[in-house]
Amino acid sequence: MADEHTHDNEHDHEHTHDHEHGHEHDHDHEELSEEERKRLEEAQADAMRRRALSQIRQYPDVALRMKAREVTEFDESLVQLVERMQILMRDAQGVGLAATQLGILQRVFVFDPEEHGLQALVNPVLSNASDEKETDEEGCLSLPEVRVPVERSVRVVVEGKDPSGKDVRLELEGLSARIVQHETDHLDGVLFIDRLDRETRKAAMRAIRSDHGPVAFTTRSARSSCSVSVT
């Protein structure tokens, strides 16, 4: 799942300048203005995001339609998979990522609900989904050019294991509940665009097929539209 997260990366910028002959004044070129520094950081975050997205299966990749299998081995390779997924999710500026999005058909997803910290769930099962629903904008790292309103249960319980095989049970609400519903769908080959009503879905499909970006609804931002053309 995609979101507008930005990251406070530390960047050291070293610049050397060839001074022109005959120059009388020695300007302080080493200091970037606040605006220049921000632009540079954004460009670096953008490059990082494009790199991460290039490793994430993009719609209509067939892997996104496959059902993942239960994990039976809680071994080192599972831990490594989870670590790789967490790094990709962070670099891609997402708040959730399922293994199927990497073409790995195992029931694993990572997500980053602000109130609970970074989580990895193995063999997740949803229950107690509230009848109360909420419609909010959703994005997906496998369809980064689309953000559309999707109806989800406001509250849900997710149970499963952590990567070491320990039981996990989380009672979630709001954005966290939305993310685990989105990611669990991924493990069953279901995408958020499948959850749309006919009209919104048609508009979304038009936007996906269009070379000119989203048509009928909000884009993530000018910045992410740019990154899409590169991936």
Q: Of the listed 42, 137, 183, 199, which one is catalytic?
A: 183
Q: Is 183 a catalytic residue?
A: yes
Shortest reach from residue 135's CB to Zn ion, in Å: 17
The whole-angstrom distance between residue 62's C-alpha and the CA centroid of its chain comes to 19
Both tokens of 62, joined, read: 């067939």
Distance in angstroms between the alpha carbons of the first and the last residue of the chain: 17
Shortest reach from residue 164's CB to Zn ion, in Å: 25
112 Cβ neighbours under 8 A, 6+ residues apart: 5, 89, 90, 94, 95, 96, 118, 119
Shortest reach from residue 227's CB to Zn ion, in Å: 16
- Which burial class, exposed, middle or buried, applies to 140 when counting CB atoms under 10 A from its CB (0-12, 13-18, 19+)? buried
Pick 50 or 147: Cβ nearer Zn ion: 147
Pick 96 or 163: Cβ nearer Zn ion: 96
The residue number with the shortest CB distance to Zn ion is: 140
Binding site for Zn ion (CB under 5 A): 1, 140
Pick 71 or 140: Cβ nearer Zn ion: 140
3-class SS string, 40-81: HHHHHHHHHHHHHHCCCCCCCCHHHHCCCECCCCCCHHHHHH
Shortest reach from residue 54's CB to Zn ion, in Å: 16
Report the interhelical angle of 34-53 vs 222-230 (nearest 10°): 40
Pick 1 or 82: Cβ nearer Zn ion: 1
Shortest reach from residue 183's CB to Zn ion, in Å: 7
Pick 81 or 141: Cβ nearer Zn ion: 141
Q: Cα-flanking dihedrals φ and ψ of residue 126, to 5°?
A: -95, 145
> Residue 138 and residue 144: Cα distance in Å, rounded?
10
Residues known to be catalytic: 183
